[in-house]
Amino acid sequence: MRTQIKQISILAFFALAFVACKEEKKVIEEEVKAKKPNIVFIMSDDHAYQAISAYGHGLNNTPNIDRIAKEGAIFNRGFVNNSICAPSRAAMLTGKHSFKNGKVDNVHAFNWDQDNFAKALQKNGYETALVGKIHLDGLPQGFNYSNVLPGQGQYYSPDFIENGVAKTYPGYITHVTTDIALNWLDTKRDKEKPFMLMYHQKAPHRTWMPEEKYLTLMDSVTFDPPANFFDDYEDRPAAAAQEMSIYKDMDLVYDLKMLDKEEELKTKYRGMFQRKYDRMTDEQKAAWDAYYDPIIADFKSKNLKGKDLAVWKYNRYMHDYLRTIQSVDDGVGQVLDYLKENGLEENTIVVYTSDQGFYLGEHGWFDKRFMYEESFRTPILMKYPKEIKPGTVIDELVQNIDFAPTFLDYAGAEIDESIQGESLRKLVNGEASEWRDAIYYTFYEYPAEHKVKRHYGVRTDKFKLIHFYYDIDKWELYDLEKDPTEMHNVYEDPDYASIKKDMHEQLEKMRTKYGDSDALNEENLEKYLSKKGIKKH
Ligand code: SGN
Ligand code: CA
């Protein structure tokens, strides 16, 4: 009898222990589930998707950025709302189009008092930081720590503003930015809280100054310009009026580093480049000169003209542009390694994007601004091991206004009704039952540098309709399947009459949905002209 009782109590003990253990496991699982993910939002400035090897254009090799796509998702149709720096950043922070958040151009101040996703994450228990380029004046709001570039920033001996206090760092900007970000992750944040870090590089923004280590990278490679490099802009007067041509507008000294000691190359922006060069240390200058001086001598001896000069300029541009990206890629590798080595990989969402795309010779251009694909589109790569399957490919139309609601969704925070973007969470998990079929675009910065006229438009899966206005009134329609490089404006083509009608309807639908109008355009124009002191055309 005694032994029986003993046996029963032993059994009961194990049964209870088993239940308790199961309970405990469940609690731990729930805790892990409930644990808010960390967010690392990586952005570079003017990084063309053509210059990320994961996109398969074969121009360069970015193994670390590619890791994000391999371990997570790549978006083939990521777009911006407005292809210029500050307005794109404002749209990402607020989740709203430019005409709603008020930051329509690089000229007007951004209103930091409005809601942004960093503020919302803070309210939801996050520790937040902003490091590097933001290009929105005033002390950033929504961050426990900020260390940002004043305006565009400088490649060498960069100035920063740390929590409102100005400071100059020795070294090369891309590394300085990475070091500040890693230092915050490692020593400055409250490790009890989930974190959100915005790690934003200046590179590869103009004027593409590489770091010493990469001065000779891809030196032996000759790049063939894109097929439409010598575009004649037929039936595209806005494209014809631009001043962002590699051949005509790229400055030999400022952009292409032909700062000859004899001072024979007296270009328009020579002095501006001299000031950037002067920020280097003697060692940096020596390394720089050792690379560029022979190129300068060779260039002068050749006396290139016409198409030969255009192709030479294109190659010089590509070399420097791609070299600055290599340092960005190294920084991404360091941050990914840090997350891995510190057990943060599983619970951290990593996004890589740019504030817009960039022309790498398409239509003969550099810069951005236009609603044509190369600058409208932007790279987006995203990983989150807990939810996103490695090797995910997303072909739906997504836009920079989608980042804010995506981060809030993952963080379990409320997504305010005024936010115009959509969370990408279900789309990227393969759980979205429906998705948008069109996206809207606006651009306002004109009259200005590069002379890209004011325009707005709509893009669907296969077509794009654009309206250029102010000192022009021109509609353009593209069949993106038949004409992916947008060389043929079919707006007046009778074969496209019904598509034209559909696209006008789509455009009106978009403008109604987001709350845009000609009256708002007129208002923004008046403000712009008066701020810049320009007389109305
Ligand atoms: C600067 C550049 C332009 C560039 C704008 C906007 N000129 O003005 O080439 O289009 O920035 O770029 S520079 O001489 O200063 O390099 S943005 O990314 O900030 O919007
Ligand atoms: Ca930019």
Residue 206 Cα to ligand 1 midpoint, Å, equals: 7
CA distances to 43, 92, 140, 166 from 163, in Å: 20, 21, 9, 9
**Encoding tokens for residue 233?**
């802009």
**Encoding tokens for residue 380?**
């987006």
Tell me if the bond preceding 237 is cis, omega within 30° of 0. Answer: no
Please tell me if the CB atom of residue 464 comes closer than 6 angstroms to any atom of ligand 1.
Answer: no
Please tell me if the CB atom of residue 85 comes closer than 6 angstroms to any atom of ligand 1.
Answer: yes
Q: Which of 414, 204, 187, 226 is nearest to 325 (CA)?
A: 204
Helices (H), 161-269: 173-183, 237-241, 246-249
Query: What is Dmax (Cα atoms) for the chain?
Result: 110
Ligand 1: atom nearest CA of 135 is: 19
Task: Give residues with Cβ within 8 angstroms of 510, minimum separation 6.
Answer: 438, 439, 440, 458, 516
**Encoding tokens for residue 9?**
């109590």
Neighbours of ion ligand 2 (CB under 5 A): 45-46, 85, 355
CA dist., res. 288 & res. 299, Å (int): 16
Please tell me if the CB atom of residue 46 comes closer than 6 angstroms to any atom of ligand 1.
Answer: yes
Q: Where are the domains of the chain?
A: 46-209+319-395+410-430, 215-315, 454-532
How crowded is residue 14: how many other Cβ atoms within 10 Å of its Cβ? 10
**Encoding tokens for residue 452?**
């890209």
For residue 389, the 8-state DSSP code is P
Do the strands 78-79 and 398-399 form a parallel or antiparallel pair, or are they unpaired?
parallel
Ligand 1: atom nearest CA of 368 is: 10
Residue 174 Cα to ligand 1 midpoint, Å, equals: 18
Ligand 1: atom nearest CA of 244 is: 9
Please tell me if the CB atom of residue 154 comes closer than 6 angstroms to any atom of ligand 1.
Answer: no
| pTM recorded for the entire structure | 0.94
Q: Cα–Cα–Cα angle for 528, 151, 260, nearest 5°?
A: 110
Is residue 55 within 8 A of residue 379, CB to CB? The reply is yes
Please tell me if the CB atom of residue 206 comes closer than 6 angstroms to any atom of ligand 1.
Answer: yes
Q: Which of 352, 518, 514, 516 is nearest to 419 (CA)?
A: 514
Please tell me if the CB atom of residue 207 comes closer than 6 angstroms to any atom of ligand 1.
Answer: yes
Residue type, 409: D
Please tell me if the CB atom of residue 84 comes closer than 6 angstroms to any atom of ligand 1.
Answer: yes
454-532 folds as Arylsulfatase, C-terminal domain (3.30.1120)
Ligand 1: atom nearest CA of 367 is: 10
Residue nearest to atom 7 of ligand 1 (CA): 206
pLDDT of the chain, 537 residues: tens digit per residue: 454 555 555 555 555 555 555 565 554 444 544 689 999 999 999 999 999 999 999 999 999 999 999 999 999 999 999 999 999 999 999 999 999 999 999 999 999 999 999 999 999 999 999 999 999 999 999 999 999 999 999 999 999 999 999 999 999 999 999 999 999 999 999 999 999 999 999 999 999 999 999 999 999 999 999 999 999 999 999 999 999 999 999 999 999 999 999 999 999 999 999 999 999 999 999 999 999 999 999 999 999 999 999 999 999 999 999 999 999 999 999 999 999 999 999 999 999 999 999 999 999 999 999 999 999 999 999 999 999 999 999 999 999 999 999 999 999 999 999 999 999 999 999 999 999 999 999 999 999 999 999 999 999 999 999 999 999 999 999 999 999 999 999 999 999 999 999 999 999 999 999 999 999 999 999 999 999 999 998
46-209+319-395+410-430 folds as Alkaline Phosphatase, subunit A (3.40.720)
DSSP 261-307: TT-----TTHHHHHHHHTTS-HHHHHHHHHHHHHHHHHHHHH---HH
Please tell me if the CB atom of residue 135 comes closer than 6 angstroms to any atom of ligand 1.
Answer: yes
Please tell me if the CB atom of residue 24 comes closer than 6 angstroms to any atom of ligand 1.
Answer: no
DSSP 75-134: ESSEE-SSSSHHHHHHHHHHSS-HHHHS--SSSSPP-TTS--HHHHHHHTT-EEEEEE--
Ligand 1: atom nearest CA of 205 is: 18
Is residue 260 within 8 A of residue 266, CB to CB? The reply is no
